Every structure is written in structure tokens, then in C-alpha cells.
Amino acid sequence: MTDITIEKTPPAVAQATPLSTAELKRRAAALLPELRHGAEERERNRILPHEQIRRLAAEKLLTFRIPVQYGGPGASVREVVQFVTDVAAVDSNIAQALRPSYLFVEGLLSNGDETLRKRWLPRYLRGDVFGNAGWEIGGANGAISARIVREGKNFRAQGSKYYSTGSLYADWVSAAALDENGHEVRFMLPRHRAGLELVDDFDAMGQRLTASGTTHLHGVEVFPEEIIPSPLQADGKSRRSIVTPFAQLFLAAVEAGVARNALEDAVNFARHHARPIRHSSASRSVDDPYVELSVGEISAQAFAAEAVVLRAADSIDAAWAEGLTEESVVRAAIDVAQAQYVAAAAALKAGELLFDVGGASTTARKHNLDRHWRNARTVANHNPRHWKAAVVGAYRLKGTEPPVSGLF
């Protein structure tokens, strides 16, 4: 059945005068305390932050990277990554749920297809949210079993997806399937299309509110204009894309935010809840030298994570400035891999050290302090950290370029 809500023509741009980056930063600063409020309770009781994500979209905070000529502010990658880190520092679940929205913009910018940009960028400007349903379970990692077949002028897609990040919050859900020739086809569907089923069954120990559950494609109809072409090399193989380092850096930014959030909770717990150990020389926990040491270590971890993430963001911006040459994109990929390795380790260490600022009371469920380590560990498990270091090592030792895959 055809979805009668399908839009055949691009919607009008939401505002005549593009918002400036400064204005978006002002809106972000005003909204972040609201996102922070109730984050522990949402995570503890698994309350999905629908309202908070809608506020972010309504404030046009998904439009940072949209160029001025399309009605956006034209912000840098560094500015986006700083915003993502700031969001993750108040609620890492919300930050990661925004990843598909930001990745689609980057794809549109790098693709060069003017028709796609004119069709999809205005939807960001009106406040739409995008989710992802690309990955599957079973079979080889990265393998696709979903199928899409032509049916008259349109197509039908059948299959199931997992790790559908952000889809329950989204207006549009991207998916991938193989056509009759075994070629990967990507497409973007409206959330309420008949035959598109989103299931809230994500059960990871961390990042529980990213809405990363199962997506079923029950013979869902796909219109030609919903197909998202993937640029290929002359031999038909995927080419190296700047979008991939951006996608990986986004995860590193989430880790940096987790580390900063752990620091905030460590300071708060030491000031308001912790008691000095019996044989301590201090009468207050904040005067205990080992509490000071622990907080100082956490602070250093958070500082390092954010610093490397922003340094890698500068590399991606530099690649854009250099015209996305092969050399500049490889350099960005290497820098991002290093940033991921450091940021993940820093977030995990910060989440562990947090429990050294107090005694057994730090483990009380009411404080929910374990969420930082659980969230950091879950994000880190998206990609094996050892592969990041090994690829960087091979590049330094032998000049071996990173693999052309979704991980680099």
C-alpha cells in the first residue's frame, strides 16, 4: 500500500534567513541544562528521551553543517564535534541517537548530488530527525541479507535490521538491502510507512536509550526518489570517503562527553556525599589527598579525550579545505583512529576512577554512577580498539593506508 504522506517535491526551507553558527551555539547552551535534567532517572528507568530529541531538532541543532546556500549556518566539523561532546557530557544516549542525522548530512555534502541535497536538506531545516537501520545480525559482520526488488515503477524491501540507532525518535529511517544483482542499495523511508516496523528491544548494558532496536522491512514500498546513491569508483567498488572518519569521530566525541560527565559526577559526589575514610588526615572528603588525586586523574582523562577529538576534527576540516584529496582523507582517518583509541580509554578510565572518590556508597543504585563506565564500554565496543592502534601502527611503520571500510 502506498503511503499517502509521501512528499514528491522538496518542502520549503523553514526560514528565509539562515541561522548563524553563533545563534545555534546560543540555543545549544540554553538547552543543555534541560537535557541534563533527569538524565540519571531516564537511564535508570529506561525512559526514552523523545521530548529532548524533539527539542534539539526544533531548535535546528541538527543543521550545523548545512551550507549557507541551502539555508544552514555552514559550521565546521570542529564546531559540530564540540556540540556532540557537550551533549554527551549531559546525556550520552541523546548524543549517540543523533549520529544518523549528522551522518546523512555529511553524506549529502560529500556526495555532490544537487538533487539529493535539495530534496533532503530542507527537511532538517523544518526539524526532521533521521534514524538508521543498516546493520544486521547473523552471518558475517557487515553482511546484508535484506533484499529489495523492483515492482513496477517502485521497489519492495524485505528483511530485518538490528542496531537501528535513533530510529524510534526519527521521522525518516535509512536502510540498506541487496538488489537482484547483489548490489547494495540504500534508501530513506518515512517512519510511518506501511510495512516498516520499529521494535524497542535494545538490551545492551549501556547506551540503553539510543533506541537501537530491531527494524523489520515487511515488503515495504520504496519510491525511486527515496534511493540514496552511493558514489563508487570506476571499478564499481566503494571509494574512500570523508564521511567514514566523521562517523568514527562522532563515537569518539560521545566518549569524550562520557568522561566529562564522569568528572562532573565525581566532583559532585566528593563535595556532597562522600566521607573521609576513618584513618584519613582530612575532616572533609574534598581535603583528602587521595580524593583530590582521583578527581585530578579523572579531569586529566576528560581533558585528554576532548583534546584529541577536537584535534581529529581539525584534520577532517583540513581535508575538506584541501579538496578531499586521497592523502588528506587518509590523514584524517589516521588521526580519527588515534583519537578513538585515546578517547575510549580515557572514558573507561574516568568511569572506573569515579568510584575512588568515595566508599561503598558510590555503588548505590540511587546514584547510578556505574552508567558512565557502562556507556563508555558500550560505545567502545562498536569498533575494536586494537584494530585502531594496529592500523595506525602499520601506517607509521610501512605507509599502509587504512582499510576502505566503515571503520576507518
Q: What is the DSSP string of 163-209?
A: --TTGGG-SEEEEEEE-TTS-EEEEEEETT-TTEEEE-----SS-TT
User: 33: burial class by Cβ within 10 Å (0-12, 13-18, 19+)?
Assistant: exposed
- The cell for 63 is 543543521
**Using CA atoms, how far apart are residues 208 and 49, in angstroms rounded to an integer?**
11
- The amino acid present at 211, given as its one-letter code, is A
User: 170: burial class by Cβ within 10 Å (0-12, 13-18, 19+)?
Assistant: buried
Tens of each residue's pLDDT in the chain, 408 residues: 334 344 444 444 445 578 999 999 999 999 999 999 999 999 999 999 999 999 999 999 999 999 999 999 999 999 999 999 999 999 999 999 999 999 999 999 998 899 999 999 999 999 999 999 988 887 677 789 999 999 999 999 999 998 899 999 999 999 999 999 999 999 999 999 999 999 999 999 999 999 999 999 999 999 999 999 876 544 556 789 999 999 999 999 999 999 999 999 999 998 998 777 677 776 688 878 898 999 999 999 999 999 999 999 999 999 999 999 999 999 999 999 999 999 999 999 999 999 999 889 899 999 999 999 999 999 999 988 999 999 999 999 999 999 998 889
**Using CA atoms, how far apart are residues 337 and 358, in angstroms rounded to an integer?**
34
- The pLDDT value given to residue 317: 98
Q: State whether 269 and 356 are in the same domain.
A: yes
| 353 within some domain | yes
**Using CA atoms, how far apart are residues 336 and 328, in angstroms rounded to an integer?**
12
- The pLDDT value given to residue 4: 37
| 114 within some domain | yes
- The cell for 32 is 543543555
8 A C-beta contact, residue 312 and residue 333: no
- The cell for 108 is 549529502
| CB proximity list for 192: less than 8 A, separation 6 or greater | 3, 5
Could you tell me whether strands 214-222 and 196-199 are parallel, antiparallel, or unpaired per DSSP bridges?
antiparallel
- The pLDDT value given to residue 226: 97
| 15 within some domain | no
Nearest Cα to 339, choosing from 224, 255, 215? 255
Q: State whether 304 and 209 are in the same domain.
A: no
* Domain termination residue (choose one: 228, 259, 284): 228
Q: State whether 266 and 377 are in the same domain.
A: yes
Q: State whether 30 and 159 are in the same domain.
A: no
Could you tell me whether strands 184-190 and 227-228 are parallel, antiparallel, or unpaired per DSSP bridges?
antiparallel
Q: State whether 199 and 266 are in the same domain.
A: no
- The pLDDT value given to residue 8: 47
Q: State whether 217 and 252 are in the same domain.
A: no
Q: State whether 250 and 389 are in the same domain.
A: yes
DSSP SS3 for 132: strand
| 273 within some domain | yes
Q: State whether 162 and 277 are in the same domain.
A: no
**Residue 367 belongs to domain spanning:** 243-398
**Using CA atoms, how far apart are residues 127 and 239, in angstroms rounded to an integer?**
31
8 A C-beta contact, residue 116 and residue 222: no
**Using CA atoms, how far apart are residues 249 and 117, in angstroms rounded to an integer?**
23
**Using CA atoms, how far apart are residues 163 and 173, in angstroms rounded to an integer?**
12
Estimate the crossing angle of helix 99-111 against helix 114-125, to 10 degrees: 150
- The pLDDT value given to residue 295: 96
Sign of the C-alpha dihedral computed for residues 213, 119, 106 and 258 taken in this order: negative
**Total number of domains in the chain:** 3
DSSP SS3 for 130: strand
| 101 within some domain | yes
